[in-house]
Amino acid sequence: MTYPTVEVLTQKLVHHVPSVLGQDSNLNAAIILPIIETEQGLSLLFEVRAYSLRSQPGEICFPGGRIDTDDTSSEQAALREMNEEVGISSKEVIKVFPLDYIVHHTRGIIYPFVAIIKPTAAITINKEEVDHVFTIPLDFLYDYNVQTHQIEMTISDNNDFPFHKIANGDAYRNRRMILEEYFYYFKDYAIWGLTAKILHHFLNLTK
């Protein structure tokens, strides 16, 4: 066995640039919050996912999806997904702004962006991914009193996890966590989960 020396460790670490652990995950995603002009003024565009999808059918989200290896950046991935899902190309975008990214324990890193869309942009829905779209005026969202609800998650024992090898292992077995979720209600739509979390961040940032 070759034992490391201070010199070897220094050579390996001196040029390391710190980043987010797990940022190279193939689960990483980029989403975009499209702001468009409507009769009610500036509004956010939301999607209702196609009911034929295997994952989260019928749920409300912003345009977005996995970052592909061909994507040059998370921003380019978000713009590509918006074009694929609702037909708005990057040529119809006035400006793009990054929001804070989310490090999710099961979904990798999520990179959200805000896009100001040209008034002339046309929306063409990809029915394989999107059932329909709707908009909510920013004025409504800024005045909205967000609702919060708590959900309990439990870590269950699958019988082969070595709790007995862990100090205080019994404290982790069937451990319960309380998560607080934001809810925004508009007409018959309920916006919650990561979409509501990102929306809440955007509203707090721009109020």
Residue 2 lies in a domain: no
Task: Let me know: does 32 contact 115? Beta carbons within 8 Å.
Answer: yes
Residues across the chain: 207
- In terms of residue numbers, what domain contains 120? 20-206
pLDDT, one tens digit per residue, over 9-38 is 999 899 998 888 767 667 899 999 999 999
Residue 10 lies in a domain: no
Separation CA 26–CA 109 (nearest Å): 10
Q: Per DSSP, what are the bridge partners of residue 135?
A: 45
Residue 51 lies in a domain: yes
Residue 79 lies in a domain: yes
Residue 1 lies in a domain: no
Among the residue ranges 125-129, 168-172, 202-206, the one predicted with the least confidence is 168-172
- Structurally, how many domains does the chain consist of? 1
Residue 7 lies in a domain: no
**Residue type (1 letter), 159:** N
What average pLDDT does the structure give for the chain? 92
Q: Looking at residues 70-97, what average pLDDT do you find?
A: 97
DSSP element (H, E) containing 77: helix 74-86
**Residue type (1 letter), 196:** A
pLDDT, one tens digit per residue, over 93-128 is 999 999 999 988 777 899 999 999 999 999 999 999
Q: Per DSSP, what are the bridge partners of residue 98?
A: 113
Tokens of 89: 């190309």
pLDDT of residue 1: 66
Q: The domain spanning residue 81 has which CATH number?
A: 3.90.79.10
Q: How confident is the model at residue 157 (pLDDT cuts 50, 70, 90)?
A: confident
Question: What secondary structure does DSSP assign to 145-207, as a single string?
Answer: --EEEEEEEE----S-S-GGGSTTHHHHTT-EEEEEEEEEEETTEEE-HHHHHHHHHHHHHH-
Q: How confident is the model at residue 169 (pLDDT cuts 50, 70, 90)?
A: confident
Tokens of 123: 């929306």
CB 139: neighbour CB atoms within 10 A?
12
